Structure 1
């Protein structure tokens, strides 16, 4: 996509949603199809966990690293898949404005799982070998932590339900990204 003065505009494909809905599976498949790299909050957090004490600090550092990566690539015309939860609407609105101010195109995709039983099955597998970022490994505890599991989509945000086939989800995202 051509930007101002011939500068290529970078595009961020953001997959967001609650833990365990399937963002990682979707982003893996999408990255293969589009031949685009992925930056995952969980990866950044897990590396930080080996050197930094405290969940809040690790979280803040992971998001800070994300912003720095995006700033470094804002004008190079690249596409990047982000697998970051952005569970809170105010955080998402601020992030979208931050990207826009830097001329980065945002293609937000909200991942949901409408089948709570399936979501719980997927989520509860975490207790077998939790990564440092997986502080909650029981679905009932997740529900208690968030209260309302629903996330309201932003205007112009694609919503995909991970009860659908991975192939159909990726096809929908690819069509959305190309528009």
Structure 2
């Protein structure tokens, strides 16, 4: 049985896999996910861990991305970068991360998670609204004010509307999340 790796060990695994710009983004997302978790009654250290690992596979060569995560649908075949969440999950599992909610958050940061996964919602919102992106500040503020569900809903709706407006196919899992949030009370 593997022991759970320390944050320092995971930093040593992730940092060499990504560009300096991506690493800076990862750190901003991890810190924001931690803050969002704190303000919404979630475990801040687990949120930080998910943030630290979410883009571990983002800068891998295409062949390595495909080795870690085979496309499951036409969107992933046409846009293999959509695989980076699933590939990052595979890396995290290989490094000894076993927390199912953290693993689901890592995988789902690309296309969304079930609203039952609070860490996944915190990571998704942190990723789309971290200050370095220069967008979605209102979503970030909603989440930091303790209104994570509302922020998450807005983030998913904005993503779907943006992609549809550009004529870009929306991942089927994103559409599932979108529909579940759109029809929720």
Compute the TM-score of the two structures, normalised by the length of structure 1. 0.31
Higher helix share: 2
Higher relative contact order (CA 8 A, sep 6+): 1
Higher strand share: 1
